[in-house]
Amino acid sequence: MIVEGSLLGVAFSAKLLRNRAEKHGGQTRPEKKLMFKLAVLWYSLSAGVIFTQVFFIMATTNGKNIGGAQGLLVLALARAVAAVVADYYTAFVSEEQPNDGERAIEIQEEQTEFTSKMLEQKRMEVEIINAGAIKVQETAQTARVAQARTEQKAAMEMDRLETEQKLLKMENAAKIARLEAQQNADLMLIQLSTAAAQAQHASLMRMVNEANARNGTNTEPLKIVRIEEEG
């Protein structure tokens, strides 16, 4: 009984150590050393439990009804091994079942984590939507700037064409004015030349007539012929 009680105490100690290590994310180095010592002690006690139980059953039980000594030995070994396996499960396999308070805390932590993930997802969605809206605004602004530049270039090109047209008209008007002035000047020169020739001819005729009159010549006075302008 003392050996079995000790084995049970070691099994529960190993279980508590495992559960405590799981709560803070794994066993530390001292905990691993302690778990190794508990495992060595457990295997040693398990061997003692198996030996004592087999010896006790063989000594106190009559094996005539179960196949003699061999049947009794098999039964004793099976009982001892089953007890040891149960203790092994308690020490190294079983998991601590949370109580109502721990389960409530776990559920609350899961809900908090879920809410945090949902909020993070919503935040990312909002950031993506805002980024898309900003991108659309930037694209629209770029398009408006490009359109304004195109319109400005077209207006400047139109102004240049209108200026060239005005300059060409002014140049043509100046040419026409120069030609008209030249024509008027040529016409005036012709008129002046004609008038001068007529005046010179008339003066010459008067001189001839006066000379003939002084000399008493009965010749008919010369007539002044006026040169008419043609055209």
Segments making up each domain of the chain, as ranges: 2-96
To the question of pTM greater than 0.75 for the whole model, the response is: no
Q: pLDDT at residue 168 above 80? A: yes
Q: 213: number of CA atoms within 13 Å, CB side?
A: 8
Contact criterion met (CB below 8 Å) for 54 and 80: yes
Q: Which residues of 64-90 are buried (b: 16+ CB within 10 A; e: fewer)?
A: eeeeeeeebbebbeeebeebbeebbeb
Nearest to 47, CA basis, from 91, 12, 72, 77: 77
Percent of the chain with pLDDT over 90: 0
Q: pLDDT at residue 207 above 50? A: yes
Rounded distance, CA 188 to CA 176, Å?
18
Angle at the Cα of 47 (from 44 to 50), degrees rounded to 5? 150
Residue 117: pLDDT band by 50, 70, 90 thresholds?
Answer: confident
User: What mean pLDDT is predicted for residues 17-42?
Assistant: 78
Q: How many CB atoms lie within 10 A of CB 21?
A: 16
Rounded distance, CA 158 to CA 166, Å?
12
Element (H, E) at 62: none
